[in-house]
């Protein structure tokens, strides 16, 4: 007999965040995160070996902290869920191995779940059950995807994704060009507040044949190059680079494309709800423009609070709880870590 409000612990280690969340049904009890971002800042990006080592060091303390703050014992759990892909192979292995050990020792079912599907599911603990279908725009350092989600535990259709750089990756690279720290997203967002949108940077895959062939796909490589060349030209001319204006203009170009295509996807696929998730969803301009365009189109916008947009264990626990509630099959104990797991495969 399935529990009405399953108590599920979720483990997230797809990149540089060691996340452990505990959910009871649709209620979030705790979201504990240990970040190794400071260890990567001096390299200007995530170093896989450093991230894996950090996960090894932080896994047990983070699990213990999560249980302590939630006031639960491991033996009370109904299930364990873990990100099994996609992500950095070494990082995923640490999380999957830890989850297997817990499931085996406790005699609990194990659910290996998709990282991107978890970003969709986390909104359940923030705003309640997902409308079916839901349109999801996931934007992060590794992904920019438009997903039609009839059932987050069973059926997800990919409408489009990035064909080169993801949105978050473009933020990081442009931040480096402007001399801003890593990770670039928050620093560009902050700088842009003091700038003006005075530079017309390109919007990739939004016109002509590009739009016909890649209707719901994204491309930010050309934008990144355009910003770099604009800055180089200013420096070569001996002029001061207006960092705030460049940041605002670049950010506007990214957000314009993301929201324009997301609203179009809703209209053409009969979805009256749009959810935005992933680390870039914390961007203030993205939230504002998405709200404005959704209001104009009669679409309801759902965006989790910023702390639930970045990678975290709560989102994995939320999806795990839904898997239990809907009676989905648990994973085998020999489930692999799959660094290239497609979003259409929700569980391993």
Report the binding-site residues for substrate: 138-142, 172, 185, 189, 283
Q: Which residues are annotated as a binding site for Fe cation?
A: 115, 119, 311
Residue 211 has which token pair? 């739009």
Report the side by side order of strands in the sheet with 7-12: 27-35, 17-24, 7-12, 79-85, 110-114
Instruction: Provide CB contacts within 8 A for 39, sequence distance 6+.
Output: 16, 47, 50, 54
Q: According to DSSP H, which parts of the chain are helical?
A: 37-41, 48-70, 89-106, 115-121, 124-127, 167-177, 184-192, 208-213, 221-236, 243-269, 284-297, 306-309, 313-325
The answer to whether 314 and 10 are in contact (CB under 8 A) is yes
Q: Which residues are annotated as a binding site?
A: 115, 119, 138-142, 172, 185, 189, 283, 311
The answer to whether 119 and 315 are in contact (CB under 8 A) is yes
| Nearest Cα residue to 84 out of 339, 322, 343, 329 | 339
* b/e burial code for range 322-341 (CB count within 10 A of at least 16 → b): bbbbeebebbeeebebbbeb
């Amino acid at each position: 007999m399935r529990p009405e409000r399953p108590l599920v612990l979720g483990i997230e280690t797809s990149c540089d965040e060691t996340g452990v969340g505990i959910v009871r049904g649709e209620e979030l009890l705790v979201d504990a995160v240990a970040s190794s971002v400071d260890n990567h800042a001096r390299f200007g990006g995530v170093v896989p070996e450093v991230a894996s080592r950090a996960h090894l060091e932080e896994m047990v303390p983070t699990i213990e902290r999560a249980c302590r703050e939630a006031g639960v014992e491991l033996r009370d759990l109904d299930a364990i869920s873990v990100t099994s892909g996609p992500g950095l192979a070494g990082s995923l292995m640490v999380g999957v191995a830890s989850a297997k050990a817990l499931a085996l020792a406790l005699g609990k079912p194990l659910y290996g779940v998709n990282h991107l599907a978890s970003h969709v599911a986390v909104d359940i603990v923030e705003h309640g059950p997902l409308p079916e279908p839901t349109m999801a725009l996931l934007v992060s350092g590794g992904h920019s995807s438009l997903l039609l989600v009839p059932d987050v535990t069973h059926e997800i259709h990919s409408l489009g994704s990035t064909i080169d750089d993801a949105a978050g990756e473009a933020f990081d690279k442009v931040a480096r060009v402007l001399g801003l720290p890593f990770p670039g997203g928050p620093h560009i967002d902050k700088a842009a507040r003091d700038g003006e949108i005075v530079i017309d940077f390109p919007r990739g895959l939004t016109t002509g044949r590009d739009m016909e062939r890649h209707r719901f796909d994204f491309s930010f490589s050309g934008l990144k190059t355009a910003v770099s060349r604009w800055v180089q030209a200013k420096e070569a001319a001996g002029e001061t680079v207006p960092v705030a204006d460049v940041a605002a203009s670049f950010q506007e170009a990214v957000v314009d494309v993301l929201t324009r295509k997301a609203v179009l996807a809703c209209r053409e696929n009969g979805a009256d709800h749009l959810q935005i998730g992933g680390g870039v969803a914390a961007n203030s301009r993205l939230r504002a423009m998405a709200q404005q365009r959704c209001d104009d189109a009669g679409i309801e916008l759902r965006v989790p609070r910023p702390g639930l947009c970045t990678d975290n264990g709560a989102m994995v626990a939320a999806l795990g709880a839904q898997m239990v509630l809907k009676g989905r099959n648990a994973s085998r104990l020999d489930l692999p870590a799959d660094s290239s797991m497609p979003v259409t495969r929700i569980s391993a």
